[in-house]
Structure 1
């Protein structure tokens, strides 16, 4: 469902927490806290997981197909665009700049990482 919505360029359902997770301390809802990433080590484990990491990479690549044509806000909505920036900052940082996370930050946020995520790392 998430991948289909990203490919269509319009998020319509609720899956942000487990597709593009954030570092602990940012989300306030029960689901955000349930799916939070507690540490850089856990983020690396998530990225290395055969299902979770593959899904993260595939969905990030799907977002990148819209680079230069649609904003993250248009695709995800304003709140989830903030979460996406946070997630990309987290995974770009723990993967030492491994694509496609830095590319997503460049494409949708002018290369600017989320300062709140960086502060928590």
Structure 2
């Protein structure tokens, strides 16, 4: 795993989450994001955000997404946060995350659904909050069409 960490610099996420992960998870469980952690808790594919922070935390390939998901800390935390979102009842992604972070959630779940088995927590999030519709721009950037988006 250390070789993959070095290859993709996944440690940039571990460092960012060190001080904000517990707060992010608590905010999700409370049903309302209040602070700034979206980039490194629910990362998106490169090319979707243009701020320096967005670019720093962008996932640049499906291989990097797979490595992130397989990372013993990052993968477990991503799944834990995704499962926590699923447990928020009666609210839309917009009500939980606000804008544009609701769109970032959709992008993130689209990306990680591509490197996860069918029926994953990421597909469940797409189903529950986005009517099963993946983010078309994310699919375009990774070179997959919506019709061929399932893993």
Q: Tell me the TM-score range normalised by the shorter chain.
A: over 0.9
Question: Greater RCO between the two (CA within 8 Å, min separation 6)?
Answer: 1
Give a deviation string over 1:53-89, Cα, whole Å, max 9, x none: 111000000100025x100000000200000000000
With structure 2 as the length reference, what TM-score do the two structures score? 0.77
Aligned with 2:116 (options 92, 95, 98):
95
Asked which structure has the greater CA Rg, the reply is 2
Q: State how far apart, in whole Å, the 2-side matches of 1:38 and 1:98 are.
A: 24
Alignment-derived partner of residue 83 in structure 2? 61
Q: Deviations over 1:22-73 (max 9, x none)?
A: 0000011111100000000000000000111111000000100025x10000
Q: 1:28 aligns with which of 35, 50, 60?
A: 50
SS of 2:33's partner is: coil
CA-atom RMSD in angstroms: 0.9
CA distance in 2, matches of 1:51, 1:120: 26
Pairing partner for 2:34 from 1, 8, 12: 12
